[in-house]
Structure 1
């Protein structure tokens, strides 16, 4: 039980550990979707390049 907001934010003397853990977790949860989106775009771009290279090879063989 906390008797005041200051006691809540102090977390019984473990505030630095607890709040930094929450902060790191929040940053990771925000960055994860961004990195997934970036990797998806990179994969699609690479697949398009491979497809175009394959089509170019097929056209030049004939």
Structure 2
């Protein structure tokens, strides 16, 4: 794809909701995984 402006890039050819939504879901899932791992680590240390 060839974007002529930042706004065109952010619009993603009309698919911005799908593209940025997918990035958001992946980021949230990865953050949740890191949080869960830290919780398990703290739980293991207390046992």
| TM-score for both structures, normalised by structure 1 | 0.62
- Say which one has the larger Rg: 1
Deviation string, structure 1 residues 26-52 (Cα, Å, up to 9, x no partner): 11111111101212333x24xx4xxxx
RMSD between superposed Cα atoms in Å: 1.3
- Where structure 1 has 5 or more consecutive residues not aligned to the other structure, the ranges are 49-62
Residue 11 of structure 2 is matched in structure 1 by 10
After TM superposition, the runs of 4+ consecutive aligned structure 1 residues lying more than 4 A away are none
Q: How many residues matched?
A: 45
- As a proportion of its length, which structure holds more helix? 1
Residue 24 of structure 1 is matched in structure 2 by 25
Residue 41 of structure 2 is matched in structure 1 by 40
Looking at structure 2, the residues matched to 28 and 38 of structure 1 have their Cα atoms a distance apart, in angstroms, of: 15
